[in-house]
Amino acid sequence: MNSTNVQQSDDVNLSAHSAAKRDAILRAAAQVFLTSGYGNASMDQIAAAAGVSKQTVYSHFGAKDSLFEAIVKGKCAALMGEGAGFAMPGESLEGVLRETAAKFLAVIMTNESIGLYRIILSEADRFPELAEAFYRSGPNAAASRLAGFLAGAAEKGDIIIDDPRRAADLFFAMLRDDLYLERLLNLRAAPDADEIDARATVVARRFMQAHQSLAQNLQ
């Protein structure tokens, strides 16, 4: 990527004023990307939409691909959180998976997320760094985090999984199913909270049943 020499700071290391500017830039950039596309979007447009100077945009992100990746990272953080783990003390494994599933669907099914993904699909040939940034900071990061959690649960004997990363990929694939394709093709509206909860509950339960069955077969 073009941003290898760019120093990126987490919000916790920024002053409140700088963090507010950074958030404003991210919100503005997402809207500019959605309306203009990645290739046609300029840092001038983004700076104007955010109400900051172009130099301020560059000082925070360095390049357009870094800015797009930061948007994707923000969505992944909304799903998985910023910390090393995401289990609540005392919560069942199925409960953690159900909560993760609901957050995942709530994040990826929004109009903004769908719009950004359409941009990636349409411009990946011209801007391969865009696709790389999305995969690295989005799907790969989320699956890696869940795989780590599942590996820990397997070590404790809560579940039998021989390939945590593959299991994480399948978990997210079950959640997307045809629902995500229908959203991408604009064949339906975003699911409401009740539909998200219902799907999250079913997928978490079936995932647990499958791996519990494996555990029972090994006893």
Contact 91, 35 (CB under 8 A): no
- CA dist., res. 92 & res. 98, Å (int): 10
- CATH level 3 topology of 11-67: Arc Repressor Mutant, subunit A (1.10.10)
Closest CA to 59 of 43, 36, 82, 75: 43
- Judged by DSSP in three states, 89 sits in coil
Rounded Cα gap, residues 217 and 219, in angstroms: 6
Tens-place pLDDT, residues 177-212: 999 999 999 999 999 999 999 999 999 999 999 998
The sign of the torsion formed by the CA atoms of 99, 198, 114, 111 equals: negative
With bands split at pLDDT 50, 70 and 90, how would you rate the model's confidence at 56? very high
When mean pLDDT is compared over 56-60, 72-76, 194-198, 213-217, the highest value belongs to 194-198
Kindly report, residue by residue over 7-36, the tens digit of the pLDDT.
344 444 557 778 888 989 999 998 999 888
Residue ranges per structural domain of the chain: 11-67, 72-218
Cα angle for residues 67, 9, 141 (degrees, 5° grid): 65
Given the candidates 3.40.50.2000, 1.10.357.10, 1.10.3720.10, 3.90.1170.50, the CATH classification of the domain at 72-218 is: 1.10.357.10
Residue written as tokens 């959203």?
A: 183
Q: Are the CB atoms for 109 and 200 separated by under 8 Å?
A: no
Burial class (CB in 10 A: 0-12, 13-18, 19+), 61: buried
Helical pair 193-218 and 93-108, crossing angle rounded to 10 deg: 140
- In order of 177, 206, 217, the CA distances from 209 in angstroms are 19, 5, 12
Is residue 49 predicted with pLDDT exceeding 70? yes
CA dist 203 to 90, 99, 109, 151, 172, Å? 21, 11, 16, 19, 9
Q: pTM of this prediction?
A: 0.74
The more confidently predicted of residues 217 and 141 is 141
